[in-house]
Amino acid sequence: MKHSLLEVKEVKKQFESILAVDDCSLIVKKQAITGLVGANGAGKTTLFNLITGYYKADSGKILFNDIRIDDMPTFKRARIGMVRTFQITKALSRMTVLDNMMLGPKGQSGEKIWNIWLKSGKISKEEDMAKEKALEILDFFNMLHMKDEYAGALSGGQKKLLEMARSLMIDPIMLLLDEPFAGVNPTLAKKMVIYIKELREKGMTFLIIEHDIPLITKVSDTLSFMSQGKIILEGTPEEVKKDPRVRDAYLGGGD
């Protein structure tokens, strides 16, 4: 069978008096699309922050591609291929949409200060390539016409799309999406589901937090249900949806 890409082992995180993540374990296999569901406050976003390095776990281990990453700073985790989006969108407001995108690519020569004068030819070549790629991705998300607008002027849904589009610029191995469909119109959301599956075929792995149960069912292979800081249930979307605990958590929400 496929190897695991991400392994979270008995991770714990306490804030003041609240135990946000409690002995949580999770395995994401290579090329899988895993949905992470659970009520508000179950600890999903905290878990994301632990995996991507925004918080440091009190105890436990996190492995990515068999490398321990729990002491690695965030930017290094991104460099080895793990990229996330944020629940509350973080568009870089006073930068254009295109500049937001161009920020993405890894290892840009022009991001080293001396190269600006020493390797200007190489930089402009890289910039052209990055721009071409950025325009392609923007086109897919129906945002090409907005490339020169300030990201701060976009609507909430558009900012969500921009964030996902921007993460794709890095060619991540694994993408962690925090509510990628919130505020996105249904037609586009469906298109995104297809796109995510296409990317998976090309080898990408996904971990997705989502409240829209029908959508997450459609996109993911397995669902992990989180409650009070723990993953308490894992299985196919159909299995998980049937469980009474899940139904309780989504009273009136899901189908």
- By the criterion CB under 8 A, which residues form the site for other proteins? 16, 52-54, 73-76, 78-79, 83-86, 90, 92-95, 99, 102-104, 106, 108-113, 116-117, 123, 126-127, 150, 152-153, 166-167, 170
CB 67 within 8 A of CB 80: yes
Shortest separation between residue 108's beta carbon and other proteins, angstroms: 5
Give the shortest CB-170-to-other proteins separation in angstroms. 6
Cα 247 off chain centre by: 25
Q: Which is nearer to other proteins, 97 or 231 (CB)?
A: 97
Q: CB of residue 131 vs other proteins: minimum separation in angstroms?
A: 12
Q: CB 127 → other proteins: shortest distance, Å?
A: 7
Nearer to other proteins, 99 or 243 (CB): 99
For 27-54, b/e burial (b = at least 16 CB within 10 A) is bbbbbbbbbbbbbeebbbbbbbbbbbbe
d(CA 6, CA 13) in angstroms, rounded, equals 18
With beta carbons less than 8 A apart as the criterion, state whether 145 and 153 touch.
no
Residue pointed to by tokens 């001396």: 114
Token digits for 162?
A: 């921009």
- Of the pair 49, 217, the CB lying nearest other proteins is at 49
Q: Could you give phi then psi for residue 170, rounded to 5 degrees?
A: -85, -5
- Provide the minimum distance between the beta carbon of 187 and other proteins in the complex, in angstroms, as a whole number: 27
CA 55 to chain centre: 16
**80 token code pair:** 């080895």
Closer by beta carbon to other proteins, 39 or else 175: 175
Min dist CB 92 to other proteins, Å, is 4
Name residue 24's beta-bridge partners: 11
Q: Looking at beta carbons only, is 52 or 217 nearer to other proteins?
A: 52
Question: Please, which residue, 42 or 215, has the CB nearer to other proteins?
Answer: 42
Query: What φ, ψ does residue 29 adopt, rounded to 5°?
Result: -80, 160
Rounded CA-CA distance 33/216 in Å is 10
